[in-house]
Amino acid sequence: MCGIIGYVGKENALPVLIEGLRRESYRGYDSSGVVVFGKDAQIVKAVGKLEALEEKLGSFRIQGGLGVGHVRWATHGGVTEENAHPHADCNGNIFVVHNGIIENYRILREKLEKRGHTFASQTDTEVLSHLIEDFFEGNLEDAVRKALQLVRGTYGLVVIAKQDPEKLVAARLSSPLVLATNTEGGYVASDPAALVSHSNKMVFLEDGEVAVITEHGFQVSDLFNVSKVKEAVELEWSVEEAQKGGYEHFMLKEIMEQSESILNSLRGRLVEKEGKAKLGGLDPVKDRLQNVDRLIISGMGTAYIAALVGEYMLEEHVGIPVEAENAAEFRYRKPIISDNTAFLAISQSGETADTLGALREAKEKGAFTLGIVNAVGATVSRETAAGVYNHAGPEIGVASTKAFTSQLVVLALLTLYLGRQRGMSLVTGQRIAKELGRIPELVRRILDQADRIAVLAEKYWKYSNFLYIGRKYNYPIALEGALKLKEISYTHAEGYGAGEMKHGPIALIDENFPTIAIVPSDSVYEKMISNIQEIKTRKGPVIAIATEGNTEIGDIADDVIYIPKTLEMLTPILAVIPLQLFAYFFGVAKGYDVDKPRNLAKSVTVE
């Protein structure tokens, strides 16, 4: 959730730090700070938006070629300047920025206080600066390695020291860090987005690794100073992709990009004539996949909802038992896993703490691990045996939109890939492949209705409660639609399987409680119509998401948004897009910052 940036080189560090923090600020934060080494260490912190830090910096003359910066999302200690990073040791020599949680910080702090250390904050992070100080004898990386051997928890941290200048020391355990270099110096950040303007070739640190970065390059070792050889990964993202492109908000830009982002997820992966999907990331393990007799799909938030859709797709067309699991709960159960169980982790960032925890639990129990990830080089992609990249491009808005639809597309490709391994007919494979190829154009047709959906949002934005209902493939989309409205507009919304209505939720319905019903012309259409009639009988307003050509639905629902006809298994990809647009325009109508919803962060890297 927090963001880190560090620079050492020939240029003035401060502009590099501010630019990097701005590119990482989409992750969610409540305070920020920088420290730059010139003639002396100059540290400035501020609460609130990054603009507050920049305003304070206006009264300082900060020059120097070494520095670190941080945007913080509070965990330990309140939102204050004292608790903002960077944190210093007692002597103002060592400065630390840190993402993660130090679980044994209380024990360490008590020991350090007994040794005479004085603390200035309530944070767990400050323990690191004092602990490193305790081991410091002139060489910063040695002190960092020794200190981290006593730490229990998670960390992505960057450290600098006045008494060992001209270097950054970075270390990682379950919290991402990426390095880059160019002719101007060396860089480190928690997110590649902070570095793309400096280089598109990056090195991702693994857990337990320590990097020493200078203006001339870097060296990587483990905590015991055993050297590691690292290879750079070339990213496809450009700086321009992280800009708004003329749209008012990143969220709207990313919704409107979905025809293209889905095309990118499909590019080169469909073999329509043979009715197959070509997934290069899975080909090396295709023989192992044929022996899988059970699949667990796990994620958090929107990724978990994608897993629920995938459960329907894979069970129906591949013919193996599939379970969608909330990652936060999975790791604390005692799941029964056999040698032929596969575990599929879904994460946009590839750094979601709970998903990584579930993945590691499954791996320890012997599961064959797979991943669906959007961020190249992310931890999920490195810790799984095989997987598929989304290729959706960077997603800046906190509420996931294009990453979600790309996840659904990849799950459909996976269904086609595994289905053709296991007896799916050529005709069925060709039909799915052909229809997948049409999806980008069908999505574009829905996006062309954006103005009409904006009018609907204007009509309904004063309502305080919403119910979203769907069945079968679109039950998860009801959950996702409700989640988007909650995230973006802070409006109470509930997603339900429509069959649950008579078992409780219908008690809520009256003229002030609208329902959004996802009712495409599919195998459960008649069931959905019955549920909508129940709502209308109780005077509940209804917005229907229906298939083009359905004239009946207009006589039942108050308002209708039409989506093109497609295969039942692919309707969720189309049905969710009007719900994304409705939530976006609803939040805008209420005057909220839809790119940065309160209390939320883009990448949840702590439990």
Provide the token pair at 60: 């300082």
Residue 367 is classified by DSSP as P
Q: Is the peptide bond before 86 cis (omega within 30 degrees of 0)?
A: yes
Residue 602 designated active-site:
yes
DSSP assignment of 501-514: GGGTGGGG-STTS-
Catalytic residue among 167, 253, 596, 602: 602
- Which residues lie below 8 Å from residue 311, measured CB to CB, with a gap of 6+? 297, 322, 323, 324
**Helix, strand or coil, per DSSP, at residue 590:** coil
Confirm if 76 and 105 have CB atoms less than 8 A apart: yes
Report the amino acid identity of residue 77: G
**Helix, strand or coil, per DSSP, at residue 272:** helix
φ and ψ at residue 250, rounded to 5 degrees = -60, -40
Residue 90 designated active-site:
no
Residue 102 is classified by DSSP as B
Catalytic residue among 2, 167, 486, 596: 2
Confirm if 142 and 135 have CB atoms less than 8 A apart: yes
DSSP assignment of 518-573: EE-SSTTHHHHHHHHHHHHHTT--EEEEEETT--SGGGTSSEEEEE----GGGHHH
Confirm if 300 and 600 have CB atoms less than 8 A apart: no
CB atoms within 10 A of CB 211: 24
Strand partners, 323: 296
Provide the token pair at 570: 């692919």
Helix (H) or strand (E) holding 33: strand 31-37
Confirm if 379 and 236 have CB atoms less than 8 A apart: no
> Is the C-alpha dihedral spanning 241, 242, 248, 254 positive or negative?
positive
Query: What is the SS3 assignment for 152-196?
Result: CECEEEEEEECCCCCCEEEEEEECCCEEEEECCEEEEECCHHHCC
- Which residues lie below 8 Å from residue 27, measured CB to CB, with a gap of 6+? 1, 2, 3, 71, 73, 191, 601, 602, 603
Query: Which active-site residues does the annotation give?
Result: 2, 602
